[in-house]
Structure 1
Amino acid sequence: MKYTVIITKDEDGYYVVNVPALPGCFTQGKTKKEALINIKEAIRAYIESLKKHNEKIPRDNAEEITVHA
């Protein structure tokens, strides 16, 4: 499955990542690479929990667009 992630850098210099399609699924890392590794683990754990509780796994409804400026 593919999910859109939002990456921001906080005031302490950490990269914070969240998954809009999976409420409450977020993590951080000292580097962007570390944050992306961590979010993959968080997504896996989130989905495993949903399966364990027989809950529906949300799909990512995000769309990519190209804007010529």
Structure 2
Amino acid sequence: MPAESEDAVALGHVAERLLKAFPGLDPRIVRGTVDTAYAELRYARVRTYLPVLMERRARDLLAATDAE
């Protein structure tokens, strides 16, 4: 399976979890934040932990957004 397909699946799973964790936020904001987190990390050489790191980064960004 190509890395791009794996990344797309990971993006979907992370977005689903974060939509449940932040139900008060607009789904477009959540998905956009996940995309931003992915963009920051997509060139990582070791891809094993990419979904975990991406989710943590997106969660931090969303927590800051939710606090505003």
Please, what TM-score do these two structures have when normalized by structure 2?
0.39
Please, what TM-score do these two structures have when normalized by structure 1?
0.39
Structure number with larger C-alpha Rg: 1
Structure 1 or 2: larger helix share?
Answer: 2
